Structure 1
Amino acid sequence: MDISRREFTKIGCKIIIGATAGTTIVESLITNSIAAENSPVKGGYNWEEHFWGYVVDTRKCIGCGRCANACKLENHVPFDEEVYRTWIERYRVKKTSLETREEEVVIDSPDGGIEGFVDDIPAEEIKKAFFVPKICNHCDNPPCVQVCPVGATYTTKDGVVLVDYEYCIGCRYCIQGCPYGARYFNTEKGTADKCTWCYHRITKGLLPACVQACPTGARKFGDMLDKDSEVNKIIDEERINLLKPDLGTKPKVFYIGLDREVK
């Protein structure tokens, strides 16, 4: 599509619709980027031979924020803006009040969890606390694809939801349509943006930056068409939960140890 046609489409559709990275992380990413040069996948990637899936084990997440930090570095997500492709949420369940008999759940995610968390509630008041990594769920039935008026958001044959920045008109419909809050507006590109599971890496045989940076193995990524992949083994062996399964989006991010308080 030439530029003039794209600009015409962009204008027309707007009328129609009403309008401090750690050294370890850096070295690790560089090393694996170099390794990709010799990957057997490079130059011969066939997206019909793969179908990607992601597992998050909340029992292992320590809220260190290295994943969110690595993501911003790898994907050039602005550090001076409160936008994230992946982030960490902290859930703290306060002890039941004798007056109301109800539990209070306090949820926070300062700077996406990159700088860690502050203990601003006395420990004796907390019944339990845990961390939950969040990311685009790359749904099999993605609302963001359905609401995009120009087809800029699409699903690849290997199950990854992407944004075509050449087609995107920045209407933000997909941002509003995502029930997981996983999209943001890229002020530099003037388009919607989101997690791509580091598509530029996985098609070279590498792991997403967030998975690689996790020090506890709380994040796992793999090919669901490979019966021997770690992701498939985890799904077969563990009790798996999904975020907002009642919405029918069919997420491909599977959670282990997900508490009922998680939204």
Structure 2
Amino acid sequence: MTPAEQQQFFERMATQNASFRYYLPSKPDVGRFIDNLIRFLFPITQDCRAFTVSTADTYRDLNDKLSCLLKPLKEHLPVDREVIVERFFDLLPNTYDELLLDSQAIAAFDPAASGVEEVIAIYPGFYAIAVYRIAHVLTDLEVPLLPRMMTEYAHSHTGIDIHPNAEIGSSFFVDHGTGVVIGETAVIGSNVKLYQGVTLGATNVAKSMASKKRHPTIEDNVIIYANATILGGRTVVGHDSVIGGNVWLTQSIEPYSLVYHTSQIEVRSLTTEH
């Protein structure tokens, strides 16, 4: 570009930049905060070159880092960012207890898990749930956009997409998890188990539906097997039900239901008779 073209481009960028409603922390900073917070809660993994830092010092550093993440959003926060930081960390013991229940549920249900240590350190399902629960606290504190940055960070690492606004009960289990999608207005009870490829989605994606309940409700003790798709804000899966693999469900079902997909399978020999 010529100097004149460069200047014109820079001015166009400046005009666009001035029109943005929000400024956000960087994605790497958000990711580091998430990973450091989870490691603080569950110090099972260690860096080879790690040096010893007291729990209290780490706790203070995490407080400072969250305050830094909130700084670009300060004009859009309901209260001062330091108040939000204080409230977030006041609620951290509750988040910790919820994550312990999640890890214990996964370890108890999955025969491949050797214990909660493996679940916490290795399982992508637990990691995605942990980031969701952290982000959901900030959602309840009316922090815009940052919670979504957190869950999208987990999404990029695990293939599990959980919207931070979703409501999820205790002892939640996502097994394998790749391709799981849980929409913004989904409500999930306690002791629910999801397998890979499950979608809790909406039947209508029109922008006019943004303030409506668009995603299903899953009651307690439900198991949903791989690649099942459950859609619609009025769809309720009754407690203690089992949804089989590849099911497409857009209507409510009663408690203790078994829903399964049937397909015709034809087996042919590859040998040719002469």
The two structures share one fold, judged by TM-score above 0.5:
no
TM-score w.r.t. the length of structure 2 is: 0.24
Higher normalized contact order (CA 8 Å, seq sep 6+, divided by chain length): 1
Structure with the larger helix share: 2
Q: Larger Rg: 1 or 2?
A: 2
TM-score w.r.t. the length of structure 1 is: 0.25
